[in-house]
Amino acid sequence: MSYFCIPTIRNANLCEETILRQFKQITGTITFSKKQTMKEVTKEVYLKWYEDMLLWRKFEDKLAALYIQQKVRGFLHLYNGQEAVLAGALHAMDLSKDKMITAYRNHVQPIGMGVDPKAVMAELLGKVTGTSKGMGGSMHIFSKEKGFYGGHGIVGAQIPVGAGIAFADKYFETGGVTMTYFGDGAARQGSLHEAFNMAMLWKLPVVFIVENNGYAMGTSVERTANHTDIWKLGLGYEMPCGPVDGMNPVKVAEAMHEAIDRARRGDGPTFLEMKTYRYRGHSMSDAQLYRSKEEVEEYKKIDPITQVLDVIKENNYATEAEIEAIDERVKALVEECAQFAEESPFPEVQQLYDVVYEQENYPFIPHKL
């Protein structure tokens, strides 16, 4: 059973009511041939999800503290509450060839892809041991080696870039699929439509994922468009699309598996709307006047980390002592990352020139890199 609407109607005069009668939002009836079975969600997977998501949460809590101490400069956009979107996706991906690109809420994704968390922390503190030698900062974590093509500071700019990476995979026949993430605010950018059109035209191996946390930079979805179901934008391009419970890693994994499998078979892109929620502001400077504290607390009742921990306890996947050991391991790793970052040196001024001029024998500025 498919998670998505598979548009086939070409009559532009059909009203939305007619379309919705033929397409179900979540449980469609379309089946695909040669489908690959999703990896089983086992006890080990739940324990990994718990440890990974807890690390991501505590890692960013530490970043928030360092930001208040002015050790992290500029803007800081945290992922707290949205961890299931990443955990579920990683379960469905093949990290040996699949890639990921996202916006500026991008600190934990590279860690999930295999980047050393110490290097990520160092980058946020502007240190030379960081992923971009301290020159990218919070919004520009990057690792070509691990298939993570960045954080991007320009809203929506990564959407066509993600389609371009997918084009390269198709051209060079790598078998890889690109996960292209963006927020609900970026869904209003024109570049999305250009990328959707070309991705469908060329059947690119890309999965477009909008992480709809409800408020973009601080304006609710209801106030930015005449529709609230962002996934329906895919219908205009006859792209398989649909909503997903972004607070549940199992639901995310199932939807991502189907989309990735479809792309890898050569059947083109999918557009998923992950319905999620961020517990912190758009950035650390956000006063969050657009929502109530009571609303945030309501969403914390379906916290993805809590959901996973409940399953672990209900199924006796781990004892209290084993869970506590995980907690302590995560705490120690976060402190290790912070210590590494704080003790690392800042880049030398010379580095600015080393990464600007490609010519090794540039006559005026000697190179070190």
Secondary structure of 264-317 in HEC code, one letter for each residue: HCCCCCEEEEEECCCCCCCCCCCCCCCCCHHHHHHHHCCCHHHHHHHHHHHCCC
pLDDT of residue 2: 57
**Under 8 Å CB-to-CB from 245, ≥6 apart: which residues?**
251, 252, 275
CB contact set of 255 (below 8 Å; sequence gap of 6+): 3, 4, 88, 242, 244, 272
Contact 204, 268 (CB under 8 A): yes
Q: With a threshold of 0.85, does the pTM exceed it?
A: yes
Residue 336 has pLDDT above 90, yes or no: yes
For residues 289-318, average pLDDT: 95
The superfamily in CATH containing domain 41-354 is Thiamin diphosphate (ThDP)-binding fold, Pyr/PP domains (3.40.50.970)
Q: What is the pLDDT of residues 355-369, one digit of tens each?
A: 776 666 666 666 666
- Is 13's pLDDT higher than 80? no
Q: How far is CA 74 from CA 125, 290, 307, in A?
A: 10, 23, 33
Query: 12 in helix, strand or coil?
Result: coil
Residue type, 165: I
pLDDT of residue 3: 53
What distance lies between CA 182 and its chain's CA centroid?
8
Sign of the alpha-carbon dihedral angle for 106, 44, 62, 294: positive
Q: Where are the domains of the chain?
A: 41-354
Give pLDDT tens digits for 99-134. 999 999 999 999 999 999 999 999 999 999 999 999
Indicate the SS3 state at residue 361: coil
Tell how far CA 120 is from the center of its chain: 16
**pLDDT for position 237:** 97
Q: Cite the DSSP H helix spans in the chain.
A: 16-22, 43-68, 83-92, 108-113, 117-124, 158-172, 190-202, 249-264, 293-300, 304-314, 320-343, 350-354
Tell me the average pLDDT across 344-362. Answer: 81
CA dist 230 and 271 (Å) reads: 10
Compute the C-alpha angle 80/62/142, nearest 5°.
75
**Residue-level pLDDT at 360:** 67
Tokens encoding 118: 């110490």
pLDDT of residue 362: 66
pLDDT at 357 (0 to 100): 66
